[in-house]
């Protein structure tokens, strides 16, 4: 077996014998390497210095992984960072041991260490990977990238474009990533940046043609920003959310909200004229900014109109048995302006002031951070309903690992399959899912400063 290390050690020998045949890469060969390491990239506009990031493959977002549904992914994580790290494969119905959560499914990989991730990809869709250690810092420094699992039978579109929406907080003088651990971020809406980017660039531009049909895979990889999006000069449909196809494409008629970690697959037609411009617009309040500029040059040879056919559904996703479901409740408390009266922290009851001194501002069911006991223990295959009450002033993006859920709507219907649900202050929302995947699965707010300062729990599914 040749690991990366032995290859490096053998570099001199190879250089001395340049005519050695190269080793063929075949199935079952050594896994590809994902090295988490420092790199310098241009994030700020031209004229500003480069920014030092922590990334996979020297870039942010990291190299796109694109594989066929049903295939097996093998990646060897090598940690060349100054901190322990791990890799989480967000939204994948994964083997629990490969979920990448330090303290729950593995030990964090120490600097200089490595870990082999190897798992099947049962579902097609738009997913992403990111560090799950010290995430509020490591993901913001750039340890994240897209994971695209392709359907055998893809939709009829001219192009497939992955658009990773993110933001960075850069020091305007030096262009470097601003320091972490700001109390205001933790206790309020989380760390938002001062420069919004797409695929790591603040001025992402794509050349398109009039009447071209595009599949856009939007991924919000930011720490805390809720992207509020509209289309200009482009029209279309949402065809999947958080990787999972909608039963029917949904026309985009209003502002699309994409919370941290959420994804949306769109199929859109360029309606702007040849020579004109189209935009993916990001709203901050009522002010719109061009998040992505589409320069319209030329005409597509075929013009399609009318809704696309739905994407093929992923197997075994039905959420049934709601009447006999195991019922659970999650009471979300804390944050600025409200706090909590008392919560359990490190095995004792503390008030909000004492929790805040330890940089903890949030509690789930009266516990700050990971509780000793899981929120609930489900039998494999059991249907579970969790009622979540957001007793805070802030929005939260609640993410469950290893499963997709549906929202139980007030009228009794079910929402689309998702792995991350955006909840606003004072909302109560209920989700339901079939606990089909054995293991310990974390359940947390994906506004990463919130997860780091209390909003973290886990569930257990028996084997």
Segment lying near ligand C2O (by CB under 6 A), choices 63-71, 206-214, 328-336, 441-449: 441-449
Site string for Cu ion, 377-396 (x = CB under 5 A): -------------------x
Contact 396, 332 (CB under 8 A): yes
- φ, ψ at 353 (rounded to 5°): -65, -40
Segment lying near Cu ion (by CB under 5 A), choices 139-147, 148-156, 246-254, 449-457: 449-457
Closest contact distance (angstroms) between CB of 88 and ligand C2O is 5
Dist. CA 45–CA 238, nearest whole Å: 31
> Taking CB under 6 A as the rule, does residue 401 contact ligand C2O?
yes
Which positions from 34 through 93 interact with ligand C2O, judged by CB under 6 A? Answer: 88, 90
User: From the list Cu ion, ligand C2O, none, which binds 401 (C-beta under 5 to 8 Å, kind-based)?
Assistant: ligand C2O
Closest contact distance (angstroms) between CB of 139 and Cu ion is 14
Residue from 442, 445, 452, 455 that binds ligand C2O (CB under 6 A)?
442
Site string for ligand C2O, 331-370 (x = CB under 6 A): ----------------------------------------
Dist. CA 347–CA 372, nearest whole Å: 9
Rg of the chain, C-alpha, whole Å: 22
Closest contact distance (angstroms) between CB of 136 and ligand C2O is 12
Segment lying near ligand C2O (by CB under 6 A), choices 30-38, 113-121, 351-359, 438-446: 438-446
Contact 267, 236 (CB under 8 A): yes
User: From the list ligand C2O, Cu ion, none, which binds 132 (C-beta under 5 to 8 Å, kind-based)?
Assistant: ligand C2O
Closest contact distance (angstroms) between CB of 451 and ligand C2O is 7
CA separation (Å) from 133 to 156, 173, 456? 39, 29, 13
Dist. CA 238–CA 245, nearest whole Å: 9
Q: What does the H/E/C string look like for 324-340?
A: CCEEEEEEEEECCCCCC
DSSP per residue, 191-222: ---SEEEETTBTT-EEEEEET-EEEEEEEE-S
Pick the closest to residue 131 from 63, 77, 74 (CA basis): 77
> Taking CB under 5 A as the rule, does residue 332 contact Cu ion?
no
* Count of residues in contact with Cu ion, rule CB under 5 A: 4
Residues ≥6 apart with Cβ < 8 Å to 36? 54, 55, 56, 77, 78, 79, 80, 81, 85, 131, 143
User: From the list ligand C2O, Cu ion, none, which binds 396 (C-beta under 5 to 8 Å, kind-based)?
Assistant: Cu ion
> Taking CB under 6 A as the rule, does residue 444 contact ligand C2O?
yes
* Count of residues in contact with ligand C2O, rule CB under 6 A: 10
| Helices of type H across 134-248 | 135-141, 183-187
Which positions from 261 through 320 interact with ligand C2O, judged by CB under 6 A? Answer: 261
Give the nearer residue to ligand C2O in terms of CB position, either 128 or 237. 128
Which positions from 110 through 149 interact with ligand C2O, judged by CB under 6 A? Answer: 130, 132
User: From the list ligand C2O, Cu ion, none, which binds 130 (C-beta under 5 to 8 Å, kind-based)?
Assistant: ligand C2O
Dist. CA 80–CA 87, nearest whole Å: 13
Give the nearer residue to ligand C2O in terms of CB position, either 225 or 446. 446
DSSP per residue, 261-281: T-EEEEEEEE-SPTT-EEEEE
Give the nearer residue to ligand C2O in terms of CB position, either 213 or 446. 446
Residue from 101, 447, 456, 461 that binds Cu ion (CB under 5 A)?
447
Q: What does the H/E/C string look like for 287-300?
A: EEEEEEEEEEEEEC
- Cα(first)–Cα(last) distance of the chain, in Å? 33
Residue from 396, 399, 418, 450 that binds ligand C2O (CB under 6 A)?
399
Dist. CA 122–CA 199, nearest whole Å: 26
Which positions from 182 through 221 interact with Cu ion, judged by CB under 5 A? Answer: none
Residue from 319, 450, 454, 458 that binds Cu ion (CB under 5 A)?
450
Give the nearer residue to ligand C2O in terms of CB position, either 444 or 450. 444
Closest residue to ligand C2O using C-beta atoms: 90
Pick the closest to residue 211 from 163, 273, 160 (CA basis): 273
Residue 142: other Cβ atoms inside 10 A:
30
Give the nearer residue to Cu ion in terms of CB position, either 217 or 450. 450
> Taking CB under 6 A as the rule, does residue 239 contact ligand C2O?
no
The secondary structure element, H or E, covering residue 15 is helix 11-16
- The CA dihedral of 125, 129, 437, 309, to the nearest 10 degrees, is -10
Segment lying near ligand C2O (by CB under 6 A), choices 161-169, 202-210, 384-392, 442-450: 442-450
Closest contact distance (angstroms) between CB of 392 and Cu ion is 8
Interface residues with ligand C2O (CB under 6 A) are 88, 90, 130, 132, 261, 399, 401, 442, 444, 446
Interface residues with Cu ion (CB under 5 A) are 396, 445, 447, 450
């Amino acid at each position: 077996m040749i690991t990366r290390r032995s290859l490096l050690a053998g570099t001199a020998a190879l250089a001395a014998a340049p005519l050695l045949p190269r080793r063929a890469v075949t199935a079952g060969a050594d896994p590809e390497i994902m090295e988490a390491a420092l790199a310098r990239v241009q994030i700020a506009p031209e004229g500003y210095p480069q920014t030092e990031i922590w990334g996979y493959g020297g870039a942010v977002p990291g190299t796109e992984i694109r594989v066929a549904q049903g295939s097996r992914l093998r990646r060897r994580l090598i940690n060349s960072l100054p901190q322990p790290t791990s890799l989480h494969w967000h939204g994948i119905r994964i083997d629990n041991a490969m979920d990448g959560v330090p303290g729950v499914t593995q030990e964090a990989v120490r600097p200089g260490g490595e870990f082999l991730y190897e798992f099947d990809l049962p579902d097609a869709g738009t997913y992403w990977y990111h560090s799950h250690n010290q995430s509020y810092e490591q993901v913001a420094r750039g340890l994240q990238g897209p994971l695209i699992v392709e359907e055998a039978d893809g939709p009829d579109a001219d192009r497939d474009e992955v658009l990773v929406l993110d933001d960075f907080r850069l020091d305007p003088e030096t262009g470097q990533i601003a320091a972490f651990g700001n109390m205001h971020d933790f206790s309020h809406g989380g760390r938002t940046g001062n420069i919004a980017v797409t695929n790591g660039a603040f001025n992402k531009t794509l050349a398109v043609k009039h009447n071209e049909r595009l599949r856009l895979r939007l991924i919000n990889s930011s720490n805390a920003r809720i992207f509020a999006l509209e289309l200009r000069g482009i029209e279309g449909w949402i065809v999947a959310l958080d990787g999972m196809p909608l039963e029917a494409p949904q026309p985009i008629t209003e502002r699309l909200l994409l919370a941290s970690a959420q994804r949306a697959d769109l199929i859109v037609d360029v309606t702007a004229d040849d020579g004109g411009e189209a935009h993916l617009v990001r709203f901050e309040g009522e002010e719109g900014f061009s998040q992505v500029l589409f320069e319209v040059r030329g005409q597509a040879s075929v013009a399609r109109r009318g809704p696309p056919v739905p994407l093929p559904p992923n197997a075994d996703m039905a959420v049934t048995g709601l009447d006999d479901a195991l019922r659970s409740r999650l009471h979300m408390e804390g944050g600025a302006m409200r706090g909590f009266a008392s919560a359990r922290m490190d095995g004792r009851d503390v008030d909000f002031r004492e929790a805040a001194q330890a940089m903890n501002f949030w509690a789930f069911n009266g516990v700050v951070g990971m509780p000793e006991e899981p929120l609930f223990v489900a039998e494999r295959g059991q249907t579970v309903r969790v009622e979540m009450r957001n007793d805070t002033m802030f929005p939260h993006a609640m993410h469950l690992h290893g499963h997709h859920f549906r929202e139980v709507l007030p009228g009794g219907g079910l929402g689309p399959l998702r792995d991350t649900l955006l909840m606003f202050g004072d909302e109560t929302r209920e989700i339901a899912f079939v606990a089909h995947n054995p293991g310990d699965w974390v359940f947390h707010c994906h506004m990463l400063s919130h997860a780091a300062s209390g909003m973290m729990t886990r569930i257990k599914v028996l084997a």
